[in-house]
Amino acid sequence: MKPDFKKMELIPAIVQDYKTKEVLMLAYVNEDSYKYMIENKQTCFYSRSRKELWHKGETSGNIQEIKGMYLDCDNDTLLIYVKQEGKGACHTGNYSCFFKEIVSYENNDDTNILQDIYNQIIDRNINPKENSYTNYLLDEGIDKICKKVGEEATETVIAAKNIDKKELIGEISDLIYHTLVLMFKSNVSIQEIEDKLIERHKKQGNKKKKNIKGDY
């Protein structure tokens, strides 16, 4: 099963994050770029403006590792699930190319709140907002951000020692937010943290299978 390139020389490809299912971008694929993707498991498109193949992330480092690929019912549209490397898919620096809001999306599912906050930090960096605390931290730089992370960590410990759950929840939330700002400023993505945790979790599972002592 492959796209019908006889019907259409270029077919659209919708690219989604394989974990969050967020739509990252729309690009076009010809037969050569399709073959490249099948062989290399990374996205490759055809640039209509440059009239050449475009290996996503070749210059920016924002490579997309293919985790799944599907054809529509007419064999003329691709849906590609990817693991997005780097800060995001868009050349503007945004996580997704679809960030210009026309009608607000109403969604009560906050399961991806960490990624949503990280995306907002990216947006504040690209589109500064007056009186934005995030912009204040980004402008002050890494030393100020590190200081705030340290302060929030200390306040988290104090709240825990005071056995005040409500206060502790608030302080942990502050610590996580400032950590996300630090991650962005240090060019560390949520995906990279998740990958490290998964790696450690798998190693721990192997230790248990081999009856090796030791835990997190």
For residue 170, give the CATH number of its domain. 1.10.287.1080
For the chain, the domain total comes to 2
The answer to whether residues 136 and 77 belong to one domain is: no
Residue 51 maps to a domain: yes
Tokens representing residue 156 in the block: 């988290």
pLDDT of residue 109: 60
The structure tokens listed for 161 are 């020692």
Q: What is the DSSP string of 108-124?
A: ---TTHHHHHHHHHHHH
Instruction: Kindly state whether residues 61 and 124 are assigned to the same domain.
Output: no
Whose tokens are 């030791």? That residue is: 214
Q: 75 with 134, same domain?
A: no
Do 77 and 121 lie in a common domain? no
Q: What is the pLDDT of residues 127-179, one digit of tens each?
A: 899 999 999 999 999 999 999 999 999 999 999 999 999 999 999 999 999 99
Contact status, residue 78 vs residue 14, Cβ threshold 8 Å:
yes
Parallel, antiparallel or unpaired: strands 52-55 and 44-47: antiparallel
Residue 48 has pLDDT above 60, yes or no: yes
- List the domain range (segments joined by +) for residue 73: 11-84
Task: Mark whether 78 and 15 lie in a shared domain.
Answer: yes
Residue 95: inside a domain, yes or no? Answer: no
Tell me: pLDDT of 104 over 70: yes
Per the prediction, the chain carries an average pLDDT of: 90
Q: Are residues 70 and 30 in the same domain?
A: yes
**Could you tell me if residue 205 is inside a domain?**
no
- Residue 104: CB atoms within 10 A of its CB come to 6
Quick one: 123 and 176 in the same domain? yes
pLDDT at 103: 86
**What pLDDT band is residue 201 in, cutting at 50, 70 and 90?**
confident
Which pLDDT band, with edges at 50, 70 and 90, does 213 fall under? Answer: low
SS3 of 67-100 = EEEEECCCCCCEEEEEEECCCCCCCCCCCCCCCC
